[in-house]
Chain A
Amino acid sequence: GENVEQHPSTLSVQEGDSAVIKCTYSDSASNYFPWYKQELGKRPQLIIDIRSNVGEKKDQRIAVTLNKTAKHFSLHITETQPEDSAVYFCAATRPDNDMRFGAGTRLTVKP
C-alpha cells in the first residue's frame, strides 16, 4: 500500500517569510496529491491539490510542486501570516484507493 512521509514535523518561521513542507510517496500509481490544513479540534481543510499530469500549481500565496520521477511533492507558502499557523498534512492516493496521510507538520508563524 501507499506510504507517505512528511518533513519537517515542526516548522517555525517569521511572519512574511516562506515555508516549505516536503513529502514523499511510495506508490508510483498514485495520481492525486492533496494538502490539508487542520486547526486544533477541527476537520482537515483542503488548501490545494495537484494531479500527476501537472508539475506545479499555484493559488495566491500557496503553491505545490510535484516530481513524479522522484515521487515527492512539496507545499510552498509565501508571505506567511500568523493565521497560517496550523498543522499541515500531505496525502497521496488513486481515485479508487484509500487516502494515506503524512505525519503532519506543525507550522508556527511568529508575528
Chain B
Amino acid sequence: GAVVSQHPSWVICKSGTSVKIECRSLDFQATTMFWYRQFPKQSLMLMATSNEGSKATYEQGVEKDKFLINHASLTLSTLTVTSAHPEDSSFYICSARARPSTGELFFGEGSRLTVL
C-alpha cells in the first residue's frame, strides 16, 4: 500500500529558531501533498497545498513567509517553520495523493512541535 513517512516525529526547539519537517512518499509518486496542523482536541486544519515543481498554495490566514513549503520532487515535500514561537506548537501532519488520484489521502505519522 501507499506509505508516507514524516520526520521528525517530535521536535523541541527554542523560540526564534527554525524547524524543518520532511514528508516522503515511499512507494508512489505524490503529485500533490497537503500540510495540516492540528491543535489539541481540534480537527485537522489545512495549511497549504503543494504541487511538485510549483509554489505552494496557502490557506487564508496561514503566513507563507513563516511556513515555507518546498515540493522539490515527486516524493518529497518539506515544511519549514521559521522563527518559531510558542504559539506555533502543534501537531503537523502531511498527506499525499497518488497519481492518478482516487481521492484518497495517505498520511504521514505526524510531527509534534514544541516551541519553548
Contact = CB atoms under 8 A, between A and B. Distances in A.
Interface of A: 31-32, 34, 41-44, 46, 49, 51, 89, 93-96, 98-104, 106
A106 B112 CA distance: 21
B44 A34 contact: no
Interface of B: 34, 41-44, 46, 49, 91, 93, 95, 97, 100-105, 107-110, 112
B103 A93 contact: yes
Contacts of B108: 43
B interface secondary structure, majority: loop
Contacts of A49: 103-104
Contact of B44 (A41, A89, A95, A106): A89
B102 A41 contact: no
B101 A41 contact: no
Contacts of A51: 103
A51 B103 CA distance: 9
